[in-house]
Amino acid sequence: MRFPTSVTILLLPLLLFHALVPCPSRAGAEEADRLYSLGREQAAMGNYRLAERTFAQAVAENPLHGEALLQLASLDSRNILTYEKAEDILLSMPEVAGKIGGKGRDDLLFRAGVSMGKLYVKSGRSAQAVSLLRNVIASAPPGVPLDEAYATLGLAHYYERLYDDAIFEMRKAIKIDPNNADAKFNLKTIRSRLEHFQAGKLFSRFGDRRRAVAEYRKAIDLDPRFIEARHRLGVELYLAGNAGEALKELRRASLVTAEYRNMYEIRYAEGLALLRLDRTGEAMGMFEQTVQARPAFAPAHNELGKILVERKEYDAAIDHFVKAIGSDPKAEYARGLQIAMSRKAKSGETPR
């Protein structure tokens, strides 16, 4: 299926098809309004098939009836077999909005964007939904129901297992509209799912590794794709001295999704576990991946510097220590730089 990833892409058909949709006659427009109202009544009564036919008749009378088109898209979004029909309708909305003009156009595009975001979530494309909805919210005109956009964005984060982000967006939705039932229900669901995860973080702060590990495992039992729980479990196992088990969990975490925003931290933790297992070459590969993804991540530069000093590659080591200090001027990194420069001098080379 074809989904745009931003409001900008939603607007592209506007330039291509602006003149293709004929303007309805006055009589046709009035009949379309009557049919639209009838369709809303039928939908409210739960007669969705009849409502769909009525909305289609309204669009036949007035192809520019944006409200009827949105209702059709909403009904088609209820069934996986008609997702593509809903998508096609939503992709036509910029064309319709271009003919309407005025303030109504911006409102229509906003609601079409939110509807597309919901369709992304339903079709299992949550990462695209996040990208689209952020653009929709950023370009929202005054007075639109932003709570729906935030609630949908929260749901997209939820399906991406970014639970903290999901809670943040759901709270925004509820702050705007305390009666947003979907946001309230989803927030409660997320919080209940996070109980063991939050307990694991608490035990970790207290230094109780055994109980932290147990709580993270319970969180993973509830959701095997809970990437942050697997990530934290791997780190906790490493800190508890179990590098082998830590590496297994970190590898499992990295396989959940390539889109995890803290993947560089997983790679860094994998590198530490590999170092403890005396697999230095593989560890170096992990640290290199880390700094490629996050060039200013000082701890990975520091580890690379230490490995390179042992390999007597002093210039490269000095370069990594300098980068570490530039990002985070810790004494540990400065000591590493001093060691590298001292050993280089003793080897007979002139420090740069």
CATH 1.25.40.10 assigned to domain 7-144? The reply is yes
Note the pLDDT tens digit of each residue in 213-222: 999 999 999 8
Question: In terms of pLDDT, which residue wins out, 240 or 99?
Answer: 240
Confidence of residue 5 (pLDDT cuts 50, 70, 90): very low
Mean of all residue pLDDT scores within the chain: 87
Confidence (pLDDT) at 349: 59
> What are phi and psi for residue 131, nearest 5 degrees?
-60, -45
Radius of gyration from C-alpha coordinates of the chain: 27
Note the pLDDT tens digit of each residue in 280-323: 999 999 999 999 999 999 999 999 999 999 999 999 999 999 99
Note the pLDDT tens digit of each residue in 102-150: 556 788 889 999 999 999 999 888 888 999 999 999 989 888 889 999 9
220, 229 contact by CB (below 8 A): yes
Residue 164 pLDDT greater than 90, yes or no: no
Considering the chain, what percentage of its residues have pLDDT values greater than 90? 60
Confidence (pLDDT) at 208: 95
Question: In terms of pLDDT, which residue wins out, 95 or 147?
Answer: 147
User: Which has the minimum average pLDDT: 47-51, 55-59, 98-102, 240-244?
Assistant: 98-102
Confidence (pLDDT) at 10: 43
Residue 3 pLDDT greater than 80, yes or no: no
Give the mean model confidence (pLDDT) for residues 221-234: 92
Confidence (pLDDT) at 103: 57
Q: Is the pTM of this model over 0.85?
A: no
Question: In terms of pLDDT, which residue wins out, 258 or 101?
Answer: 258
Confidence of residue 13 (pLDDT cuts 50, 70, 90): very low
Tokens of 19: 């003149």
Confidence of residue 348 (pLDDT cuts 50, 70, 90): confident
Q: Which fold has domain 194-294?
A: 1.25.40
Residue 248 pLDDT greater than 90, yes or no: yes
Q: At what angle do helices 66-76 and 26-44 cross, to 10 degrees?
A: 30
Residue 19 pLDDT greater than 60, yes or no: no
170, 189 contact by CB (below 8 A): no
Residue 9 pLDDT greater than 60, yes or no: no
User: Which has the minimum average pLDDT: 6-20, 182-196, 236-250, 321-335?
Assistant: 6-20
Confidence (pLDDT) at 210: 95
Confidence (pLDDT) at 102: 56
Distance of alpha carbon 280 from alpha carbon 276, whole angstroms:
9
User: Which has the minimum average pLDDT: 10-24, 32-46, 138-152, 280-294?
Assistant: 10-24
Tokens of 248: 């297994």
